[in-house]
Amino acid sequence: MKSIEGLPDRDLLKPKEVAAFFRVSIKKIYEWQDEGIIRGINLTGKMIRIFRSSVIALIQNGSTEK
């Protein structure tokens, strides 16, 4: 299981922070949010913030498959 070390300690995270943490593209983070793999909120248009708790849940679940 991946550790949360390196994950910023804030409730809402920027897609680029989550992408860097998982070592995936920012586009992939938007896809995961659209698919319900991770939860976030839309601020304006396509600007989103990802819930840190959602990232932790994904780590604990260990799967990006919906």
Nearest to 17 by CA among 48, 41, 63: 48
> What pLDDT shows up at residue 6?
87
Domain for residue 5, yes or no?
no
Running DSSP on this structure, what letter comes out for residue 24?
-
> What pLDDT shows up at residue 1?
56
> What pLDDT shows up at residue 65?
63
> What pLDDT shows up at residue 66?
55
> What pLDDT shows up at residue 61?
86
Residue found under tokens 């990006």: 64
Mean pLDDT for each consecutive 10-residue tract of the chain (66 residues)?
Answer: 84 96 96 94 90 94 70
Domain for residue 45, yes or no?
yes
Q: Which domain holds residue 50?
A: 12-61
Strand order in 40-44's β-sheet?
12-13, 47-51, 40-44
Domain for residue 66, yes or no?
no
Q: How many domains does the chain have?
A: 1
